[in-house]
Amino acid sequence: MTKAVILIPTSAEANLAAALDAAKTTGAVIFNAVEDVKAAQALIANNQKDVLLEKIVADFQALNANLVVVKGVQPSVQAPFANSLNFAIAQTLDAQIILVANNEEGTLVEAVASEFGGVNNSEILGVFGAQAGKIKTLDAQALANAISAPLAREARISPAAFRFKLTDLARKAGKTIVLPEGDEPRTVKAAAICAERGIAKSVLLADPESVKKVAAEQSVTLGADVTIINPADVRENYVARLVELRKSKGLTEEQARAQLEDTVVLGTMMLEAGEVDGLVSGAVHTTANTIRPPMQIIKTAPGSSIISSVFFMLLPDQVLVYGDCAVNPEPTAEQLAEIAIQSAESAKAFGLNPKVAMLSYSTGTSGSGQSVEKVKDATRIAQEKRPDLLIDGPLQYDAAVMKDVAASKAPNSKVAGQANVFVFPDINAGNIGYKAVQRSADLVAVGPMLQGMRKPVNDLSRGALVDDIIYTIALTAIQATQA
């Protein structure tokens, strides 16, 4: 695990050089997160701060060091955005903060600290080069000691780090994903970007002339890793196999041909045949239309009795997992337990150490009733099935995420106050919950990612942006390595 500490200058006069000299005595790697301030300014001005942060993550990961001191951007006329960017870098790299001043008044330092979470933010280790009554003053030795001290909390993965991890793992996977909505403009653009960035190869199911027209209208170049297949040319190849797979339902050849007019069914048959590694749809199709064919044809993975879903909620400083917000309307206690286990496994697959909260309107034994009892039973079943996982409930959301609330409501819980995987009691609560957080906090929700399928299939929101489709393709490619 890498520990990072960022040195953040409070002003243009801050003695950053002296702070860096003290930091070097620890043997830490010094990382200049932003070498070209003008280039950073251009990205920020073009609303591409995420691109800048993902590049910083990539450069940071390449250091492969245990202890890193990050050089923050010094405020200046050329960099009036320095404080905002430095805080974003701290959150992105999960870095603790040391403020670097130059004998400024304590109140000025405290005012600057307010832009980094305030004087009570435990991530601010102190200030070097000035005295501020409410912030610990650090001399050179104390600064070195603060940098060298072990991290006293669990490491977090930031949204930018998560997105980098997604694309990096997808590149290494080298998978091919079929996109049944092959001439949908966002899908075409996403396929082109995935090919250009080496995230995944794509197969677009649509009339080639239609795809080329859509690409031209967006000035998109479709490279060698984007294949266009005309559904009319290949449908007949899958008729016999579809009849065989659905013979228990009495499917005839004529009915199979009719079903294969649906490109989701066609893409599912390609996936079943092993010609592609995963399927992504939903930019036009409903969730039901996207997942019904795979549920009928691909079916559940060994050991899974249900298919469920999770969203990866990209908060400013961490990633949370919400399940099931899209598939199972009213899960039983047994199904809820399986959703919890599936969600924990999904969290682990993408670099999170799962701490699963089984959500309810009641914490512990404070409430009663059928819905609370269901969550209690689900928690017990999940704990019995997987004692190696940290799963607890029933927990209210505030008890699950806030340490002070957890201390009073669930003092003996190993999950309360630090949960990162949240299992909602039904789709009503889950769907409302994820959309409330997503829209009110204006954050990205990646998903829904389907769990429990024998081969990876993922659904898109019909309001999905190009970036949403790209990251869903990446998720699907990674899942294909685990199938």
Three-state secondary structure call for residue 358: strand
Confidence class for position 316, pLDDT limits 50, 70, 90: confident
Whole-number percent of the chain with pLDDT over 90: 72
162 contacts: CB under 8 Å, gap ≥ 6: 312, 314, 319, 350, 351
Q: What is the DSSP letter of 223?
A: -
pLDDT of 178-195, one tens digit each? 999 999 999 999 999 999
> Across-strand partners of 323?
310, 423
2 contacts: CB under 8 Å, gap ≥ 6: 60, 63, 65, 66, 67, 68
- pLDDT of 468: 86
Three-state secondary structure call for residue 229: strand
Q: How far apart are CA 141 and CA 336, in angstroms?
A: 52
Question: Mean pLDDT throughout 256-272?
Answer: 96
- Does 401 have pLDDT greater than 90? yes
CA distances from 147 to 23, 28, 73, 141, 448 (A): 7, 8, 19, 10, 39
Nearest alpha carbon to residue 166 among 455, 463, 452, 444: 444
- pLDDT of 153: 85
Confidence class for position 417, pLDDT limits 50, 70, 90: very high
The model carries a pTM of 0.82
- Does 382 have pLDDT greater than 90? yes
- pLDDT of 11: 87
Question: Mean pLDDT throughout 287-297?
Answer: 87
Question: Mean pLDDT throughout 111-124?
Answer: 87
Question: Matching CATH topology for 3-155 and 175-299+473-480?
Answer: yes
| Burial of 46 (C-beta count, 10 Å sphere; 0-12/13-18/19+) | exposed
- Does 462 have pLDDT greater than 90? no
Of residues 334 and 468, more confidently modeled: 334
Question: Mean pLDDT throughout 151-156?
Answer: 86
- pLDDT of 104: 66
- Does 317 have pLDDT greater than 90? no
Residue 477 sits at the vertex; the CA angle it makes with 176 and 305, to the nearest 5 degrees, is 115
Confidence class for position 230, pLDDT limits 50, 70, 90: very high
Strand order from edge to edge, sheet including 457-459: 226-229, 201-205, 176-179, 278-281, 457-459, 444-451, 308-314, 319-323, 421-423, 355-359, 390-395
Residue type, position 217, single letter: E
- pLDDT of 461: 80
- pLDDT of 385: 96
pLDDT of 435-461, one tens digit each? 999 989 888 888 889 999 999 999 888
Query: Could you tell me where the beta strands, DSSP code E, fall in 180-274?
Result: 201-205, 226-229
pLDDT of 341-369, one tens digit each? 999 999 998 889 999 999 999 997 777 78
pLDDT of 80-105, one tens digit each? 899 999 999 999 999 999 999 887 66
The CATH architecture that domain 3-155 belongs to is 3-Layer(aba) Sandwich (3.40)
Q: Where are the domains of the chain?
A: 3-155, 175-299+473-480, 308-444
Of residues 316 and 398, more confidently modeled: 398
The overall average pLDDT reported for the chain is 92
- Does 106 have pLDDT greater than 80? no
Q: How far apart are CA 370 and CA 269, in angstroms?
A: 41
CATH number of 175-299+473-480: 3.40.50.10950
Assess contact for 171 and 198: CB atoms under 8 A: yes
Find the distance separating the first CA and the last CA of the chain, reported in whole Å.
27
CATH number of 308-444: 3.40.50.10750
